Amino acid sequence: MSRGVYIIGSGEAKYGELWDRSLREIAVEAGLKAVESAGIRTKDLGAIYMGNSLGGDISMQEHLSALMSDHAGIASEFVPSVRVEASTASGAAAFREAYLGIKSGEYEIAMVGGAEKMTELYGSEIIDITSSIIDREWEAFTGATPAALAAISARKYMADFNVPREILAHISVNDHANASLNENAHFRNKITLEQALNATPIAEPLNLMDCAPLSDGASSLILASENYVKEHGIEGVKIMGSAMSQGEFALHSRKSLYTVEPTRIAAETALKQAGIGIKDISMVEIHDSYSIYGLMALEDLGFAKKGNAREIVENGIGIDSNLPVNPSGGLKAKGFPYGASGVGQIVEAYNQLKNKAGKRQVKNAKYAMTHSQAGSGAASIVHILGVE
Amino acid sequence: MGELSRMWREMPSRYRMEGRKCENCSRVYFPPRDICPVCHRDSIGKMKPVDIAGNGEIISYTVVHETPPAFIRQKPYVLAIIKLDEGPMITGQIVDSEPEEIKMGSRVKSVFRRISEDGKSGVIHYGYKFTLEK
Ligand SMILES: [Zn+2]
């Protein structure tokens, strides 16, 4: 027996370098805002799913789900909670677990949280820790970092399809333009193509402006069953498709250095569940932790054939374009708190579909797609949301 | 402690590039795998050690400027994905050349080098890197 699942509320703590705020503080803020926005009471929660990737290594704090719910003052409600980890897709994975929990009939209402505190450590040390999202023994051991692997994909992609650096840079320029309209974004400044092209090299051919920043941040959503939504006359946003797929862990194990097969399969599955086609999508939030991953995602999700994402980018991906990409500001400019980003993308999609996105509102948004990727592409999670 | 036992465990692969050959389908794997992803259960007990010659071709590469602590003294360094003549692709550094000399498609051979120094544990890691075939 399965049933419809809806999003009925959202909350966020601003993304950024929040040196004065702790992991538990931002997680609690986002969670309580979501409860408030959904108009429910914490005692109504059937379960809490918390996405977090590196809390153990960065803050030396595990079991964030329990810590967060206690500090939200709801220990006395005895709500079951669990932390979900799938590296940079942890948030989307937590969201999917909550969706499945309600769909199965076990819960009527569930909370999803995503939180990460990336700025607790400085400089090169955090690069070592973030390299735990790639193969420690056979990639990171040799000097590979997440950025280095993205750069290896980028060089091959640019050579095989004759794509100039400008096309990659457009992804970041678009993110910054959109984030300038998002008060929860890490970066509010617009950048020019020249600035994007001439930043400090990180792993050639990628520079600082191709790479999402280390951000602190937390996002939260409240999910409810179809029964609950109907009984209470709530106009939620429907989760029409939810799919996760997983492939080879290390980049060197994949057939192609610029194809994330799990993205292709997850998108296909989610679209089929939703009963719509890729052309019906009104807006998409993609996992552009590195600009090259943005281009790869547009292709693997099905918006363009392999090697042709440049056509979409050249046609425009802004908020008023045919395919608005990352109206939130994306991972590059809204920010990239690992475990929060996957939830944050869905918060954006929810607000867009509720027509509550303010200055960055996408016109006539009906169906939104969100895409979260783990590491260099070991796994992908795709969701499709819609309003009836 | 964990670091030392890992080093010891991985020595044959790191020092001699010992891979695995699936005797069911003859595919060679490096890094080593215990199960052949093509033959699945038919490969159990048939993944035999095989020495990799260490010759191959650069598929793509990057010049790394931002590094973890253990690699700071080497930066910037060239990191590549190499297709070995035996079939598998692996990740490794290209040394003894200027970045400008390196191209996709360049032939490389493996050399035994110091990989990194871990400041915390004081452990020095050794293993394979690659140089351009001259
Ligand atoms: Zn086999």
DSSP strand pairing (B107-117 vs B124-132): antiparallel
Fold agreement (A5-121+215-237, A141-214+239-386): yes
Q: Mean of the pLDDT values across residues A7-12?
A: 98
Task: List, as one string, the DSSP characters of B22-59.
Answer: ETTT--EESS--SSBTTTBGGGTT-EEEEE---EEEEE
Residue with tokens 């090169």: A124
Q: Mean of the pLDDT values across residues A7-11?
A: 98
Q: For residue A157, give both structure tokens.
A: 């992609």
Contact B20, B28 (CB under 8 A): yes
Backbone angles phi, psi at A128, to 5 degrees: -65, -45
Instruction: Kindly indicate the confidence band of residue A1, based on its pLDDT and cuts at 50, 70 and 90.
Output: very low
Q: Mean of the pLDDT values across residues A348-356?
A: 98
What's this model's pTM, rounded to 2 decimal places? 0.97
**pLDDT tens, position by position, A306-331:** 999 999 999 999 999 999 999 999 99
Chain A partners of B77 at a C-beta cutoff of 8 Å?
143
Provide the β-strand partners of residue A83: A50
Interface of A with B in 145-184 (CB under 8 A): 145, 147-149, 151-153, 155-156, 159
Q: How many whole angstroms separate alpha carbon A339 and alpha carbon A372?
A: 10
- Residues with Cβ within 8 Å of residue A65, at least 6 apart in sequence: A48, A49, A50, A81, A82, A83, A113
According to the model, what pLDDT value does residue B117 have?
83
Averaged pLDDT score across all residues of chain B: 92
Amino acid at A266: A
Residues of chain A with pLDDT > 70, as a percent, come to 99
Backbone angles phi, psi at B105, to 5 degrees: 95, -15
Provide the β-strand partners of residue A372: A381
Q: Mean of the pLDDT values across residues A339-353?
A: 98
Q: In the CATH scheme, what is the homologous superfamily, with its name and number, of domain A141-214+239-386?
A: Thiolase/Chalcone synthase (3.40.47.10)
Q: For residue A29, give both structure tokens.
A: 């803020």
Task: Report ipTM for this prediction.
Answer: 0.95
Instruction: Kindly indicate the confidence band of residue B42, based on its pLDDT and cuts at 50, 70 and 90.
Output: very high
Chain B partners of A127 at a C-beta cutoff of 8 Å?
66-68
Instruction: Name the fold adopted by A5-121+215-237.
Output: Peroxisomal Thiolase; Chain A, domain 1 (3.40.47)
**pLDDT tens, position by position, A155-204:** 999 999 999 999 999 999 999 999 999 999 999 999 999 999 999 999 99
Domain extents for chain B? Answer: 17-52, 54-134
For residue A366, how many other CB atoms are within 10 A of its CB?
Answer: 16
According to the model, what pLDDT value does residue B2 have?
60
Helix-helix angle A291-300:A146-161, to 10 degrees:
60
Å from CA of B45 to ligand 1 middle? 11
Domain extents for chain A? Answer: 5-121+215-237, 141-214+239-386
Averaged pLDDT score across all residues of chain A: 97
Q: How many whole angstroms separate alpha carbon A297 and alpha carbon A280?
A: 17
DSSP 3-state of A293: helix
Instruction: Kindly indicate the confidence band of residue A153, based on its pLDDT and cuts at 50, 70 and 90.
Output: very high
According to the model, what pLDDT value does residue A388 have?
76
According to the model, what pLDDT value does residue B1 have?
39
Nearest to B77 among A137, A138, A143 (CB): A143
A383: Cα within 13 Å, side-chain hemisphere: 32
Q: How many whole angstroms separate alpha carbon B63 and alpha carbon A204?
A: 5
Å from CA of A354 to ligand 1 middle? 51
Q: How many whole angstroms separate alpha carbon B61 and alpha carbon B56?
A: 14
Q: What dihedral angle (degrees, nearest 10) is formed by the CA atoms of A307, A309, A315, A318?
A: -160
Cis peptide before A205 (omega within 30 of 0): yes
Residue with tokens 């509550």: A356
Chain A partners of B69 at a C-beta cutoff of 8 Å?
124-125, 128
B76: closest chain A residue by CA = A203
**pLDDT tens, position by position, B105-131:** 999 999 999 999 876 777 889 999 999
Q: Mean of the pLDDT values across residues A5-20?
A: 97
According to the model, what pLDDT value does residue B36 have?
97
* Distance (Å) from the alpha carbon of B33 to chain A's nearest alpha carbon: 11
User: In the CATH scheme, what architecture does the domain B54-134 have?
Assistant: Beta Barrel (2.40)
Residue B96 has pLDDT above 70, yes or no: yes
**DSSP structure class, residue A362:** P
CA distances from B123 to B8, B115, B126 (A): 12, 11, 10
